Amino acid sequence: MDTLSRWLGAPRGLLILFGTVVALPAATLVFLGVRLLQQDRELAHQRRAEVLEQASGRAVRALDDGLAAIQRRLSDPSWRPTEAPPGSVYVLMAGDQARTVPSSALAYYPVVPRMKEPPAAPFGELEAVEFKAQDLPKALELSRRLAGSADPLVRAGALLRQARILRKMGRAADALPIYGTLATFTTISINGSPADLVARKTRCLLLKELTRASELRQEAAALDADLDAGRWQLDRMSYQYVSTQLNEWLGPARQPHADSEGLAAAVEWLYQQWTRGSGSELSPNGARSLTTDGTTVTVVWGSAEGRLPAFVGGHKYFEREWLAKARKAAEPGITG
């Protein structure tokens, strides 16, 4: 029985004090009742705070243990990147290279692979006819002839020029299927950008030019889905350029790629630290949280001679894995 219950059990106006019955005015009774009730509440609040503090301590220890376990794995000289859980990525940096697993987890990359470009030599006559002689019909015929080449690099270059010539001739609708064919070339680069990405972006531009709004939305949505799925490894500037175009084409219907962009920003930060004085800016083992556009990402790295192994967990991974473990560790200490 608490303090308030003990004295409320006495007859009205009486207080049992050290075994003696004392008569009290009604106002004093009310004051004592309120004061004792406040004290009971304060004690209950204090007990609750102590319980919560203990639970928080267990949660923090669980997170610390998780971070320490990751760092131990990363510091093992035999460690190699394995498939990371959804919403996270493993990174292995060595020299000026950065290998990520999975390779499609980031919106953009600090280092992008180089692909072969179409050679310039086979198109000398075509471009002389197109630009100097301004003979577009003949240039179109030459582009069609070159598009039959057995060399995929020459074929891709010919398709690009064929579509360009058709647009100059005012035949934008005829250029659409040419770009559709060019979009099947996935291992060739056009001026530093993947040929299929260039072709699909240009199709969107033509559909807008032709005021075919429904087809534009469909084409842009498919492009955005592939961008989010990591179909292309782009540098940050290229990614942001495509993203800006998609915002224009899709408007408010476009969903943000917050998780993959947050992971990309964290990996880029880590790469910059690593390449700045061969990683001298980084401690041998460490962890850091970074916030980009409201998205928090946690970076954990270990130490290994001549290389930097790391783990990067995004918001979704943190909610599903670390926060869930912290809650579970805290649960036994939570009472009503």
User: What local confidence, expressed as pLDDT, does residue 166 receive?
Assistant: 98
Closest CA to 34 of 52, 7, 12: 7
What is residue 24's DSSP assignment? -
Closest CA to 106 of 195, 238, 253: 238
User: What local confidence, expressed as pLDDT, does residue 179 receive?
Assistant: 98
Mean pLDDT computed over every residue of the chain: 83
Query: What is the residue type of 192?
Result: G
Name residues whose C-beta falls within 8 Å of residue 1's C-beta, 6 or more positions apart in sequence.
9
**23 bridge partner residues:** 14
- Per-residue pLDDT reduced to its tens digit, 298-336: 898 987 778 899 999 887 887 777 666 666 666 655 444
CA angle, 116 as apex, 241 and 273 as ends, to 5°?
A: 55
Rounded CA separation 324/85 (Å): 15
3-state secondary structure of 309: strand
User: What local confidence, expressed as pLDDT, does residue 67 receive?
Assistant: 75
* Structural domains of the chain in order of their starting residue, each with its CATH number: 1-107+257-336 (no CATH), 121-255 (1.25.40.10)
Least confident of 33-42, 185-194, 243-252: 33-42
pLDDT-derived band at 53 (thresholds 50, 70, 90) equals: low
- H or E segment and range at residue 256: none
In the predicted structure, residue 21 carries a pLDDT above the cut 60 = no
Q: Mean of the pLDDT values across residues 107-130?
A: 95
Residue 251: which region, alpha, beta or left (left: phi > 0; alpha: psi -120 to 50)?
A: left
Closest CA to 4 of 28, 44, 26, 35: 35
Q: Mean of the pLDDT values across residues 5-23?
A: 44
User: What local confidence, expressed as pLDDT, does residue 132 receive?
Assistant: 95
Q: Mean of the pLDDT values across residues 276-287?
A: 70
In the predicted structure, residue 50 carries a pLDDT above the cut 80 = no
- Per-residue pLDDT reduced to its tens digit, 28-47: 445 445 555 666 666 666 66
Rounded CA separation 266/263 (Å): 5
With 0-12 / 13-18 / 19 or more C-beta atoms within 10 angstroms meaning exposed / middle / buried, residue 161 is: buried
Higher pLDDT, 282 or 273: 273
- Per-residue pLDDT reduced to its tens digit, 191-213: 999 999 999 999 999 999 999 99
Closest CA to 316 of 103, 89, 102: 89
Closest CA to 161 of 194, 203, 118, 192: 118
In the predicted structure, residue 95 carries a pLDDT above the cut 60 = yes
In the predicted structure, residue 60 carries a pLDDT above the cut 70 = no
Rounded to 5 degrees, φ, ψ at 206 are -70, -40
Rounded CA separation 271/98 (Å): 7
* Ranges assigned E (strand) in 208-313: 286-292, 295-301, 308-313
Q: Mean of the pLDDT values across residues 167-182?
A: 97
User: What local confidence, expressed as pLDDT, does residue 55 receive?
Assistant: 62
